[in-house]
Amino acid sequence: MLSHAARLELIRSVFSAIPVYYMSNILFSKKFIAKLTAVIRNFWWTGIRETDSRKSLCLRAWKDISNSKTEGGLGIRNLRAINESLILAAAWRLAINPTSHLYSVLRAKYFPNTTIWKATPAPPKSAFWAAILKMFPKIKYHAFYQLTQGNISLWSMPWCTNWNTIHDYLIPQHSAFAYPSLVKDLWMTDARSWNHQLIRQLFREPLASQIINTNIIQDDNEDLLCWPLAPNGSCSPKHAYKICLQDIHAHPRTAPTQVATDLKNFLKVMWKNNSMLPKIKTFAWHLLSKALPTGMRAGKFSSHISQICSRCAHHEDDFHLFFLCHFARAAWFAHPWFIRSDTLVHNHDSLLSAITSFLNSGHPFASMQNIFNFLWCIWKARNELLFEHRKVHPNKIHIMAANTDCALQAEALVSGQVYSSFSDSLNNEQHIPLQGTTIKSDLIIKGTKIYSDAAFRSSKIPGI
């Protein structure tokens, strides 16, 4: 099984196998994008398999995984959105720089008598120009000019709200009338302000009022094309990706599953937690998103996968695996937790509510980092027993958890940050609650200790 970092590195290699040159010049077909996505999706769920060519067991839709982290996904880039965003950024560069050599070549061939804003598809056309034409409506819909000099076309550039249908509001004048050609022709002769009389003479409502209410910036710079969806007003590939992904998710068939608000808020805090390792965060996402292949969940898709716990005869779901199995109960009852995990999850219908309640319980060791490190080690011990037949004693779980991110913990201790170490939680007596009063009833007791209701004897338990 490859590590989280190794999987991400291989996914990056798949992306790099598709030259950015092609993705920014050719709009790939949906079928081709789907084949590339299938390769990445299968690898994400199963890693590298040299002999087994069967399909992977995908417990969450790829559209949910490629959703942004703020919306409950993993933030893995959507290939279709990447392709469209690169084309959209190229279209933006053409629109913002009409004096470029590429713009001149395209204009001479495809729109010699107008601007790129009014260009129409006329065969034969190149693959690049065809891609630009498909993505340019997004530019037309969102972009607009900030008027400073008014040296832009009145009839074929986005300078007001209904610029694209401006001819529909035009009031025909007598044959000798000289129609204005630039926006500044609608201004007063000696000031940067609208000529209300001329505007109402040329255009019907509501366009006339919209023109009059359009702001004119008193500045000496050139008219500026702006992309309002970016803070700097420029359509970079990053901001283009956001709008392309949003448009993809707008269709019901490609829309991701809605995530509960409390889960999204919890995941936002988790992703920002710098004291958790990336593999632990990914594991926590799988766990809270119900995408962890436990026996009950994975067994629904294949008769070859047992739904029974590898350590006892109960069905293996999330609650049983991490809190109710005798192995998990013994691990939670040992140092430094000293709690009964069955009581911990009592009256909770989801892992999120149980973990949130545990975080707010005041336990001296209950931090997001420590809890998910511990849960990950229980999951790792389960997989080692199930697939490698390696037995791990419950007392070793905390040692495994402490070793997963010792470097990050040491850095946190040096900088005086949040979490205390193993020895600190032992020696700091003032943080130990009174015994027998809360869910933390079985805490540190000096001297000999006997735990009869959660005692663990490996020789008496089958399969351990």
Q: Give which of 56, 43, 38, 50 is closest to 9, Cα–Cα.
A: 43
Together in a domain, 286 and 214? no
> 105 with 179, same domain?
no
Residue 443: per-residue pLDDT = 43
Q: Write down the pLDDT at residue 452.
A: 52
Q: What is the pLDDT of residue 442?
A: 43
Q: Beta-carbon neighbour count of residue 252 at 10 Å?
A: 6
Q: Last residue of some domain: 201, 226, 251?
A: 226
Query: Looking at the structure, do residues 115 and 165 belong to the same domain, yes or no?
Result: no
| One domain for residues 332 and 315 | yes
The predicted pLDDT at position 24 comes to 82
The number of folded domains in the chain is: 3
Structure tokens, 198 = 């001329």
276 and 324 co-located in one domain: yes
The amino acid at residue 255 is: A
In DSSP terms, 308 is beta-bridged to 315
Do 356 and 315 lie in one domain? The reply is yes
* pLDDT of res. 21: 63
Same-domain status, 193 and 205: yes
Dist CA 458 CA 464 (whole Å): 6
CB atoms within 10 A of CB 17: 9
User: Where in the sequence is the domain holding 50, given as residue range(s)?
Assistant: 1-141+234-259
In this structure, are 87 and 160 located in the same domain? no
Whole-angstrom Cα distance, residue 381 to residue 394? 9
pLDDT along the chain (464 residues), means of 10: 57 55 84 89 76 73 91 91 94 92 92 89 85 93 90 89 89 88 89 90 92 88 89 90 92 91 95 90 94 92 88 92 94 92 91 94 91 94 92 90 67 46 41 40 49 49 46
The confidence score (pLDDT) of residue 13 equals: 58
Look at residues 73, 117, 79 and name the one whose alpha carbon lies nearest to residue 98.
117
Same domain, 76 and 175: no
Instruction: Tell whether 135 and 148 lie within a shared domain.
Output: no
Same structural domain for residues 134 and 183?
no
pLDDT of residue 14: 53
In the chain, the N- to C-terminal Cα span, in Å, equals 23
Quick one: 131 and 148 in the same domain? Answer: no
Amino acid at 25: N
Q: Tell me, what's the pLDDT at 265?
A: 95
pLDDT at 101 (0 to 100): 93
pTM: 0.75
CA dihedral sign, ordered 37, 41, 44, 49: negative
3-state secondary structure the chain: CCCHHHHHHHHHHHHHHCCHHHHCCCCCCHHHHHHHHHHHHHHHHHCCCCCCCCCCCCCCCHHHHCCCHHHCCCCCCCHHHHHHHHHHHHHHHHHHCCCCHHHHHHHHHHCCCCCHHHCCCCCCCCHHHHHHHHHHHHHHHHCEEEECCCCCECCCCCCCCCHHHHHHHECCCCCCCCCCCEHHHHECCCCCCECHHHHHHHECCCHHHHHHCCCECCCCCCCEEECCCCCCCCCCHHHHHHHHHHHHHCCCCCCCCCCCHHHHHHHHHHHCCCCCCHHHHHHHHHHHCCCCCCHHHHCCCCCCCCCECCCCCCECCHHHHHHHCHHHHHHHHCCCCCCCHHHHCCCCCCHHHHHHHHHCCCCCCCCHHHHHHHHHHHHHHHHHHHHHCCCCCCCHHHHHHHHHCHHHHHHHHHCCCCCCCHHHHHHCHHHCCCCCCCCCCCCCCCCCCCCCCCCCCHHHCCCC
* Whole-number pLDDT of residue 89: 93
